[in-house]
Amino acid sequence: MPTSDHEVNIKILLDSLVERGELAPHERDAQIATTTEDVAGLVLRDNVAQNELLGVSRAHAAGMLHVHADLVADLVARNEIDRELDVLPDADGFAARLGAGEGLSSPELSTLMAHVKLDLTDALAATGLPDAEVFARRLPSYFPPVLAERYAAAIAKHPLRRPIVTTMLANEVVDGGGLTFVHRLTTEVSAGPGDAVRAYQVVTQVFALDALRADVAAGDVTLPTRVGDRLTLGARRLLDRAARWFLTHRPQPLAVGAEIARFSPAVALLVDRVPSLLRGAEKDGFGERVEAAVEGGAPVELARRVVGGLYAFGLLDVVEAAEIAESAHGDSPDDLVAVAELYYALSDHLGLHRLLTAVAALERVDRWSALARLSLRDELYSSLRRSRSTSSPTPTAPRTRMRRSRTGRRPTRRGCCGRGRRWPRSRAPGATTSRR
C-alpha cells in the first residue's frame, strides 16, 4: 500500500462515520483539513525510512551481491519478478558483476525493494498474523494522533484495517531489517515469512532496537554517511543473530508477547553492564571497535551501544541458563548478574573471541559458504553453552535440570533443509546454544 494512501484511508474512515450519522459532512471536511500537516509528516516518515534503507543497501551492495542474486532468483522462480521487464541482471549478469566487485545500482535496488515489500505483504496477508492482537493493536498509529484518539472505535472497524496492518508490518520489517532479512531467514533456518516477522518483533522489543535505530537516524544530519551506515549495519547484525536464535531455540511459532515478557526485563537489566562483564580479548575487541567507530565520527555513547549489542547477544543464553539453574533472578537480580559474569568469563577462557574473529574472516561468496560460517559459529557457541551447563552460577545453585517449554512440549528446531526435528532430551532448549 503506497504511502500516499494515508489520505485515502483517512477519507474512508471519516466517510464511514458520515454514513452512520456519527459525523456531519462539514465536520468531515474540517477534520481532513486539520490533519494535513500530520498526513504530510506520516508520508515523509515513510519516505525517509525507504531512503535510509536504500542508502544502507547501496553501501554494501557489492558484498551482498550473491544474496541479492539468490533473492532475485527466488522471486523469479515464484513469478514475482520478470528480469526483462524489471531490468534486473540474469545469472550471467550477476556473475559478471561478482567478478568485477560491483553490486546492484540504486535503480535496481529500488526495484528490488518494491518487489520484496509486495511479496512480503502478500505472504503475510495469507496468514493470521495481521489479525493477532499483538500486531492489530498498532493500527491507530497509522492515522494522525487526533483521529486515533477521537475515533478509536471506528478505526478498529476500518474496512481496510487488515491490509493496512499487513502493509505496516511489511514496511517495518524490510525498512528495519534490510532487503534480504526475511529471505536469509527462510534459507538459513527454514523460517516462513510469518516466522521472520514474529522474530523481528521480538528481537526489536527485547533489545530496544527501535530506539537505537532512531538515535542513529537522528545523528545522520551530523554523522558522515558511511559512519551512519556502519552503525545501522551493526544494529542489524544483532537483529540477524538474535532472530536466528529465537527461531532455533524457542517453541514455534513464537508467542511474541510471551517471549518479549520473558526476555526483556533481564536484557534491560544487563545490557548496559555487558562492557564491564567482558574480559581479556573480548574486552579489548570491544574497546578497539568502539575506538574505530569514534575515530570515524560516531559519538562515543552511540558507538558503545551499537558495538555492545554484538556482545549483548549472549544475554539470551544467559537468561536461559539462569532459568535452567533455577536461579530466582526474578526476585534477586544478583543471581542473574552472577550467571552473566560466569558466561562471559567462560567465553574468555575458551578463547571464543579469537575463534569467532577467524570465522568472520572466512569468505562468504555464496549461500553455502554463508551457511558454513553460521554452522561454525553455532558450534562455537555450543561449546560455550555446554561448558556453562556443567558449572553452577552461584554457591546456592547446587544443581541444574532441563526444562520443557511453557507449552509442556519439547520445541521443534528447524534445520537448513526445511525439515523440523524434535530436540533429544539431552539437548532440550536449556542445553542448546545460540546460532550466531
pTM score = 0.84
So what's the pLDDT on residue 53? 96
So what's the pLDDT on residue 346? 87
So what's the pLDDT on residue 388? 58
Cα of 53 vs its chain's centroid, Å: 14
All residue ranges of the chain with pLDDT < 50 are 1-3, 327-329, 331, 392-436
Cβ neighbours around 28 below 10 Å, total:
17
One-letter identity of residue 120: L
Inter-CA distances, 230 with 57, 267, 288, 303, 311, Å: 11, 24, 15, 10, 17
One-letter identity of residue 323: E
79-113 pLDDT per residue, tens? 999 999 999 999 999 999 999 999 999 999 999 99
Q: CA–CA separation, 419 vs 169, rounded Å? A: 27
The strand pairing partners of 412, in sequence order, are 422
342-393 pLDDT per residue, tens? 989 988 888 887 787 888 778 777 777 777 887 787 777 767 766 655 554 4
So what's the pLDDT on residue 289? 93
* Contacts by 405-414, CB closer than 8 A, 24 or more apart: 405/250, 405/251, 405/429, 406/251, 406/258, 407/251, 409/251, 411/249, 411/250, 411/251, 411/252, 412/251, 412/252, 413/248, 413/249, 414/189, 414/190, 414/191, 414/247, 414/248, 414/252
What b/e sequence results for 168-180 when a residue is b if at least 16 CB atoms lie within 10 Å of its CB, and e otherwise? bbbbbbbbbbbbb
So what's the pLDDT on residue 326? 54
So what's the pLDDT on residue 112? 98
So what's the pLDDT on residue 436? 37
167-195 pLDDT per residue, tens? 999 999 999 999 999 999 999 999 999 99
Cα of 145 vs its chain's centroid, Å: 27
Cβ neighbours around 163 below 10 Å, total:
16
> Contact 167/148 with Cβ under 8 angstroms?
no
Cα–Cα–Cα angle for 9, 15, 19, nearest 5°?
A: 150
So what's the pLDDT on residue 378? 74
So what's the pLDDT on residue 389? 56
Cα of 426 vs its chain's centroid, Å: 30
Give the SS3 label for residue 418.
coil
Q: CA–CA separation, 313 vs 286, rounded Å? A: 13
So what's the pLDDT on residue 408? 38
